[in-house]
């Protein structure tokens, strides 16, 4: 199957995909960690074999995010992993970078998952989906949307209650959810922060955000009416 979308260096994109038939693609903490490590090591113009780093060079989970890479194919501005899907806000850095990065990421994780759970066939529901982000307001919206996406796990339709509930409990939930880049913008220092290249995005990506900033970013643009 050929993809209809084309990508261009310097452009921003919202990348997302889910498990085939909406199946769970992250069953354990180790599964989430595997994908997060791949977000880092797959972003290199030269191949890096994660299993070699772990089994031959004896790198632990934290070490992986400081391993030397070749030229980065893309820059990642935000990401979130959910039980049956993922979101990545991405900028293409070299010609064909997104396609190469996503192929490496998807293939490596699918092989890991199928071997671990003794299954065969496609893990993801077809080719990854993408949307070009041409407006800064839309970029801000996606920054907030992806950063807050995990709220759906415990607070479905939370955005309908912004003016009716104290969002403090939402913030506390996200502070404990380590499978997204929310913590990397909320002032938490961690090795997984190296997945991001904040400098490749507008200046507000470099700021330390408080929770209200994330909500304002989310509400900054309505794709359905613009």
Q: What is the pLDDT of residues 165-201, one digit of tens each?
A: 678 889 999 999 999 999 999 999 999 999 999 999 9
Is 81 within 8 Å of 35 (Cβ atoms)? yes
* Reported pTM: 0.94
Q: What is the pLDDT of residues 16-63, one digit of tens each?
A: 999 999 899 999 999 999 999 999 999 999 999 999 999 888 899 999
Q: Which residues pair with 118 in a beta bridge?
A: none
Indicate if the pLDDT at residue 225 is higher than 80: no
Question: For position 44, what pLDDT does the model report?
Answer: 97
Domain locations along the chain: 12-132, 135-219
Question: For position 194, what pLDDT does the model report?
Answer: 98
12-132 CATH choice from 1.10.10.60, 3.40.50.300, 3.30.70.1290, 3.30.390.30: 3.30.70.1290
Give first-to-last CA distance, the chain, whole Å.
31
Strand-by-strand arrangement of the 12-18 sheet: 74-82, 85-92, 12-18, 129-133
Indicate if the pLDDT at residue 1 is higher than 50: no
Percent of the chain with pLDDT over 90: 80
The two three-digit tokens of residue 52, written as one number:
């070699």
């Amino acid at each position: 199957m050929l993809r209809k979308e084309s990508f261009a260096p310097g452009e921003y994109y919202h990348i997302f995909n889910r498990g085939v038939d909406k199946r769970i693609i992250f069953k354990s903490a180790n599964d989430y960690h595997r994908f997060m490590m791949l977000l880092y090591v797959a972003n290199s113009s030269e191949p890096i074999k994660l299993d070699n780093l772990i089994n031959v060079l004896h790198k632990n989970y934290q070490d992986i995010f400081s391993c030397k890479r070749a030229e980065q194919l893309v820059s990642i501005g935000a990401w979130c992993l959910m039980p049956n899907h993922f979101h990545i806000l991405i900028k293409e850095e070299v010609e064909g970078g997104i396609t190469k990065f996503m192929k490496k990421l998807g293939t490596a994780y699918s092989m890991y998952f199928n071997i671990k759970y003794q299954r065969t066939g496609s893990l993801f529901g077809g080719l990854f989906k993408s949307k070009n982000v041409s407006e800064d307001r839309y970029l801000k919206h996606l920054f907030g949307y992806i950063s807050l996406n995990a709220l759906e796990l415990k607070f479905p339709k939370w955005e309908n209650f912004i003016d009716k509930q104290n969002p403090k409990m939402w913030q506390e939930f996200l502070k404990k959810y380590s499978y997204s880049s929310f913590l990397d913008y909320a002032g938490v220092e961690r090795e997984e922060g190296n997945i991001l290249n904040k400098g490749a995005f507008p200046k507000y990506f470099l700021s330390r955000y408080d929770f209200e900033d994330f909500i304002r970013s989310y509400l900054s643009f309505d794709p359905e009416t613009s």
